[in-house]
């Protein structure tokens, strides 16, 4: 792996993060967004994260360029869900299988250790061997499946539910 630094996402990362995400929006069922996101929509998404607390976003930077990111977000709005987070991780398509996903998740999960978080869930559109492999490598286990919960590219997709107990 060339020199990769993991750091908190910053506003100047937005265009790179948008490009990474939109690649998967347009070309894959990995995310259930169907239309590419705009900068403004992605700005709103980025605004949910902060430098401390439960909701954070880390990027993998090569020089100044963000080539991947991992985030923890609210699982659901209602208050009793507050001790649960949903995690996600994306690497630029030309940077996969270089250890970046593992580095990102390790940093994110480590940073969250002191927080009042009981459960982390990741949703994985199936099949996705790299994501299943990464989640299992990071201590998640598959606890269920939403069958045919999304339709994209004219077919239905299952989403595997991956759970990590946080304490």
Q: What residues between 67 and 126 interact with ligand COA by CB under 6 A?
A: 88-91, 96-102, 122, 124
Least spacing, CB of residue 108 vs ligand COA, in Å: 12
Residue number, 79 or 94, with CB nearest to ligand COA? 94
In the list 24, 32, 55, 121, the residue contacting ligand COA (rule: CB under 6 A) is 24
Sequence-ordered list of residues with C-beta below 8 angstroms from that of 51, at least 6 positions apart, any chain = 8
Residue 167 near ligand COA by CB under 6 A: no
Q: How far apart are CA 95 and CA 105, in angstroms?
A: 15
In the list 16, 72, 108, 131, the residue contacting ligand COA (rule: CB under 6 A) is 131
Closest CA to 88 of 134, 127, 50: 134
- Give the interface with ligand COA as residue ranges (CB under 6 A): 24, 30, 88-91, 96-102, 122, 124, 128-131, 133-134, 137
């Amino acid at each position: 792996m060339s020199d990769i630094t993991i750091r908190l996402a910053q506003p100047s990362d937005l265009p790179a993060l948008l490009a990474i995400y939109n690649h998967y929006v347009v070309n894959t069922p990995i995310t259930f967004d169907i239309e590419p996101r705009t900068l403004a929509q992605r700005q709103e998404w980025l605004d949910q994260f902060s430098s401390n607390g439960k909701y954070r976003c880390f990027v993998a930077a090569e020089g100044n360029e963000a080539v991947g990111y991992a985030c923890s977000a609210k699982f659901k709005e209602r208050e009793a869900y507050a001790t649960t987070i949903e995690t996600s991780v994306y690497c630029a398509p030309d940077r996969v299988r270089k250890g970046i996903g593992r580095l990102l998740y390790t940093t994110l999960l480590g940073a969250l250790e002191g927080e009042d978080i009981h459960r982390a869930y990741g949703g994985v559109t199936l099949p996705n061997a790299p994501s299943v492999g990464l989640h299992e490598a990071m201590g998640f286990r598959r606890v269920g499946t939403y069958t045919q919960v999304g339709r994209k590219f004219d077919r239905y997709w299952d989403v595997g539910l991956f759970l990590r107990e946080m304490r």
